[in-house]
């Protein structure tokens, strides 16, 4: 039975194969720790059902018939304690700022980098995504390049501290995702940043 994620991002579901007297498959959609919406589409030869609300359940009968139900957080905890215990801790996010026009962290951000490092070291086998940003001062193409340089600079600092380079992704978003929306050519220090997600 194919199960397809229908939204970007990870949709968290509990899938349990049960005995012959119950549905052959039960898929329960759990809420994401980030609060983002998620969905799962459950398909059989007899059709498909999309579940997109926390604690919605899609059940597949022995003949492939699909039905929908709902459950509660408490019922999921009682039914699947071992599966829930395997969930990784929720991702944590940090923001570091840069000096104008450079990929050099501000002194305050260099201090905060230590908290990022401690947090990442406490997670075994996780990954880190560093997304660089700029304010709207300067040409779009130059800001694209600078944002990537900022992300790569933070990545390099983490690798120097012993993190596996294969588990750190650096991407640049230029001026496209400002923390503080501004007009073009407006200097905004809070937009000169790298967002770091440790998961």
Q: Which of 111, 92, 98, 125 is nearest to 196 (CA)?
A: 92
Is 49 in contact with 27 (CB distance < 8 Å)? Answer: no
Percent of the chain with pLDDT over 70: 88
Predicted local confidence at residue 79, as pLDDT: 87
**42-75 tens-digit pLDDT:** 888 888 889 999 999 988 888 888 889 899 989 9
| pTM, rounded to two decimals | 0.66
- 82-101 tens-digit pLDDT: 877 777 777 889 999 999 99
Parallel/antiparallel/unpaired status of strands 193-198 and 128-132: antiparallel
pLDDT computed for residue 22 by the predictor: 61
Which of the listed CATH numbers 3.30.1330.60, 3.40.140.10, 3.40.640.10, 3.40.50.2300 matches domain 92-198? 3.30.1330.60
Q: Which position has the higher pLDDT, 34 or 60? A: 60
User: Is residue 154's pLDDT more than 60?
Assistant: yes
- Take residue 171 and report the two structure tokens written for it: 């991407």
Q: Mean pLDDT, to the nearest integer, of 173-180?
A: 96
Domain boundaries, the chain: 3-85, 92-198
């Amino acid at each position: 039975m194919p199960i397809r994620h229908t939204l970007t991002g990870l949709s968290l579901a509990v899938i349990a194969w049960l005995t012959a007297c119950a549905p052959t498959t039960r898929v329960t959609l759990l809420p994401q720790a980030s609060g983002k919406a998620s969905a799962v589409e459950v398909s059989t030869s007899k059709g498909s059902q999309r579940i997109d609300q926390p604690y919605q359940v899609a059940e597949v009968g022995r003949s492939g018939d699909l039905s929908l139900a709902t459950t509660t957080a408490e019922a999921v905890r009682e039914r699947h304690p071992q599966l829930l215990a395997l969930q990784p801790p929720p991702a944590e996010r940090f923001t570091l700022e840069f000096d104008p026009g450079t990929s050099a962290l501000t002194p305050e951000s260099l201090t905060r980098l230590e908290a990022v490092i401690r947090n990442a070291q406490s997670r075994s086998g996780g990954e880190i995504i560093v997304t660089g940003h700029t304010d709207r001062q300067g040409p779009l193409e130059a800001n694209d390049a600078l944002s990537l340089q900022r992300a790569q600079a933070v990545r390099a600092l983490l690798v120097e501290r012993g993190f596996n380079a294969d588990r750190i992704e650096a991407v640049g978003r230029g001026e496209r995702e400002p923390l503080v929306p501004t007009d073009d050519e407006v200097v905004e220090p809070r937009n000169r940043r790298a967002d770091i997600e440790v998961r």
